[in-house]
């Protein structure tokens, strides 16, 4: 019996452990699948955010360029042409010079420019809104030549003056007479650090590594035009050779658009979005470190692991509780079986004692000596010829013991009563 109990307990433990292992594996597999789905969804969200930011910066730059070109167009047409023709006819007239200078100053005050210049087609300064006496930069000279060759406004390259860290960009348009001949050139100068670069560098979401880059191609190099977040390029612009194709800025000037994963100017893996600015040589690169993206993924991974671990512990406790309840039920049934077995032993002992009492008498009559015996044997009448217990097969060992006792009571040969139950057992 003890071996049977041990076998049942061992089987129960194996079932409980198997159930726990299966549930734990299911939970871990579900957690892993959820983790993969979260990573895919997180990457998709970052892609969308980068694409939206890159598109927004591209639209802002395009709008900025259009506004500057409209300023130059307004200055080079209308009454400015007549005033300029008069001034060119009488260059020593102080009143005409003051009038043109007032118009240039008004343009600077109404816009975000820092200076406005009226130059000859050769590039000589005729009138300036400020007190600029510096020679024109090579970038402005190239823009003047491009404006004279076209009928539209031209935005110059970014350039720095030798006396400071300021970065300038000029919008240039030719002033023409009725026949289309160039009379002069209007140049509106903007400080890129005052509005343009802050607008480019502004990131709409909190981030430790994200930045927007304004780049252009210069021969076989890519030039970073705006200030960099992670490297000082305030004195000299950063340049990279086009052979470094892993850099997103290089890919942008080579014509790639959209999402690109590579390494930035620091050599750090980044996720970036590449956009070209229409009608310009500029490109926008919106990027964020891959480490920052996966830092959020790691946080979600830890959260998922904690949740899965908590569920596994809960199911482990639940299975352990069910196993203990099962063991308690088995033990209770075993105790109940032991109690029934002990009660049967006691009953058998009582019957044997009764049979021994009967054997002490000469005649074994249930009706006269022990009616309780007939009742225990199952007969409905004390004078039955065959006890019900023997006829139905119940308590047969007791009946056999009773028959032996009756046989011993008549061993002296005095005869047996046919109505005595012992007669049927003889």
Taking 50 as the threshold, does the pLDDT of residue 386 lie above it? no
Average pLDDT score over the chain: 78
Domain annotation covers residue 81: yes
The packing angle between helices 94-110 and 79-89, to 10°, is 150
pTM of the model: 0.63
What is the pLDDT, as a whole number, of residue 244?
93
- Given 260, 291, 322, the domain boundary residue is 291
- What are the distances in angstroms from CA 66 to CA 54, 72, 174, 267? 18, 10, 17, 35
pLDDT digits (tens, 9 = 90+) for 320-341: 777 778 778 878 888 888 888 8
- Mean pLDDT score, 133-154: 87
- Mean pLDDT score, 310-324: 77
Domain annotation covers residue 183: yes
Q: Facing residues of 154 across strands?
A: 172
What is the pLDDT, as a whole number, of residue 407?
54
What is the pLDDT, as a whole number, of residue 363?
44
Q: Which residue has the higher pLDDT, 113 or 355?
A: 113
The CATH number of the domain holding residue 224 is 3.30.450
Cα gap 104→397, rounded to integer Å: 132
Does 392 lie in the same domain as 414? yes
What is the pLDDT, as a whole number, of residue 337?
83
Does 264 lie in the same domain as 169? no
- Given 247, 271, 291, the domain boundary residue is 291
Does 278 lie in the same domain as 129? no
Contact 283, 215 (CB under 8 A): yes
- Mean pLDDT score, 185-191: 91
pLDDT digits (tens, 9 = 90+) for 156-180: 998 887 666 788 999 999 998 888 8
Domain annotation covers residue 120: yes
Min mean pLDDT across 35-44, 77-86, 308-317, 389-398 is at 389-398
Does 54 lie in the same domain as 136? no
- Mean pLDDT score, 77-85: 82
> Both ends of the chain: CA-CA distance in Å?
37
For the ranges 18-32, 41-55, 325-339, 373-387, the one whose mean pLDDT is highest: 41-55
Q: Which residue has the higher pLDDT, 384 or 216?
A: 216
Q: Is 201 left (phi over 0), alpha (psi -120 to 50) or beta?
A: alpha
Min mean pLDDT across 11-15, 128-132, 277-281 is at 11-15
- Mean pLDDT score, 90-96: 86
Does 173 lie in the same domain as 59? no
Does 113 lie in the same domain as 101? yes
What is the pLDDT, as a whole number, of residue 355?
64
- Mean pLDDT score, 6-19: 65
Taking 80 as the threshold, does the pLDDT of residue 359 lie above it? no
Contact 350, 373 (CB under 8 A): no
pLDDT digits (tens, 9 = 90+) for 394-413: 455 555 555 555 555 545 44
Domain annotation covers residue 126: yes
Q: Which residue has the higher pLDDT, 65 or 84?
A: 65
Residue 307 has phi, psi (to 5 degrees) of -65, -45
Taking 50 as the threshold, does the pLDDT of residue 139 lie above it? yes
What is the pLDDT, as a whole number, of residue 404?
58
- Mean pLDDT score, 255-280: 91
Taking 80 as the threshold, does the pLDDT of residue 266 lie above it? yes
Does 132 lie in the same domain as 84? yes
Taking 70 as the threshold, does the pLDDT of residue 353 lie above it? yes
Q: Which residue has the higher pLDDT, 36 or 337?
A: 337
What is the pLDDT, as a whole number, of residue 362?
42
What is the pLDDT, as a whole number, of residue 426?
35
Smallest Cα–Cα separation from 333: which of 345, 344, 341? 341
What is the pLDDT, as a whole number, of residue 294?
76
Min mean pLDDT across 328-337, 343-352, 371-380 is at 371-380
Instruction: Tell me how many domains the chain contains.
Output: 3
Smallest Cα–Cα separation from 355: which of 379, 332, 372? 372
What is the pLDDT, as a whole number, of residue 351?
73
Does 159 lie in the same domain as 210? no
Domain that holds residue 241: 48-65+206-291
Domain annotation covers residue 37: no
What is the pLDDT, as a whole number, of residue 424?
41
The CATH number of the domain holding residue 116 is 3.30.450.20
Does 190 lie in the same domain as 215? no
Taking 90 as the threshold, does the pLDDT of residue 213 lie above it? yes
Does 252 lie in the same domain as 152? no
Q: CB-hemisphere CA count at 13 Å for 343? A: 6
- Mean pLDDT score, 133-146: 85
Q: Is 90 left (phi over 0), alpha (psi -120 to 50) or beta?
A: beta
Cα gap 66→371, rounded to integer Å: 124
- Given 149, 169, 196, the domain boundary residue is 196
Does 279 lie in the same domain as 164? no
Domain annotation covers residue 242: yes
Domain annotation covers residue 169: yes
Does 170 lie in the same domain as 138? yes
Taking 60 as the threshold, does the pLDDT of residue 43 lie above it? yes
Determine what percent of the chain is predicted with pLDDT higher than 90.
Answer: 23
Domain annotation covers residue 345: no
């Amino acid at each position: 019996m003890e071996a049977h109990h041990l076998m049942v307990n061992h089987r129960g433990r194996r079932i409980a452990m198997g159930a726990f292992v299966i549930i734990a594996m299911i939970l871990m597999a579900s957690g892993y699948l959820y983790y993969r789905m979260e990573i895919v969804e997180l990457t998709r969200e970052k892609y969308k955010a980068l694409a939206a930011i890159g598109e927004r910066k591209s639209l802002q730059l395009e709008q900025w360029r259009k506004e500057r070109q409209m300023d130059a167009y307004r200055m080079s047409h209308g009454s400015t042409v007549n005033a300029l023709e008069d001034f060119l006819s009488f260059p020593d007239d102080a009143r005409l010079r003051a009038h043109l200078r007032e118009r240039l100053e008004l343009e600077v005050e109404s816009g975000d420019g820092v200076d406005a210049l009226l130059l000859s087609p050769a590039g000589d300064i005729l009138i300036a809104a400020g007190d600029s006496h510096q020679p024109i930069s090579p970038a402005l000279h190239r823009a003047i030549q491009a404006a004279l060759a076209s009928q539209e406004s031209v935005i110059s390259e970014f350039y720095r003056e030798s006396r400071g860290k300021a970065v300038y960009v000029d919008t240039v348009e030719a002033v023409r007479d009725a026949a289309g001949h160039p009379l002069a050139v209007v140049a509106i100068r903007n400080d890129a650090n005052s509005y343009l670069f802050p607008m480019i560098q502004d990131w709409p979401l909190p981030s430790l590594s994200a930045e927007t880059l304004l780049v252009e191609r210069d021969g076989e190099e890519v030039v970073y035009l705006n200030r960099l977040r992670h490297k000082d390029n305030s004195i000299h612009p950063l340049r990279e050779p086009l052979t470094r194709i892993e850099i997103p800025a290089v890919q942008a000037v080579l014509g790639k658009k959209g999402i690109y994963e590579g390494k930035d100017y620091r050599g750090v893996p980044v996720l970036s979005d590449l956009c070209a600015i229409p009608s310009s040589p500029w490109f926008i690169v919106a990027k964020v470190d891959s480490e920052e993206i996966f830092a959020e993924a790691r946080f979600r991974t830890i959260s998922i692991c904690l949740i899965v671990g908590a569920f596994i512990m809960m199911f482990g406790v639940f299975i352990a509780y069910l196993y203990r309840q099962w063991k308690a039920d088995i033990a209770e049934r075993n105790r109940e079986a032991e109690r029934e077995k002990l009660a049967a032993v006691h009953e058998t002992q009582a019957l044997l004692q009764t049979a021994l009492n009967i054997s002490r008498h000469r005649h074994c009559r249930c009706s006269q000596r022990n009616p309780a015996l007939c009742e225990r044997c199952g007969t409905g009448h004390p004078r039955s010829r065959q006890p019900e217990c023997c006829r139905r097969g119940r308590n047969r060992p007791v009946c056999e013991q009773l028959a032996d006792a009756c046989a011993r009571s008549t061993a002296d040969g005095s005869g047996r009563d046919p109505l005595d139950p012992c007669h049927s057992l003889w």
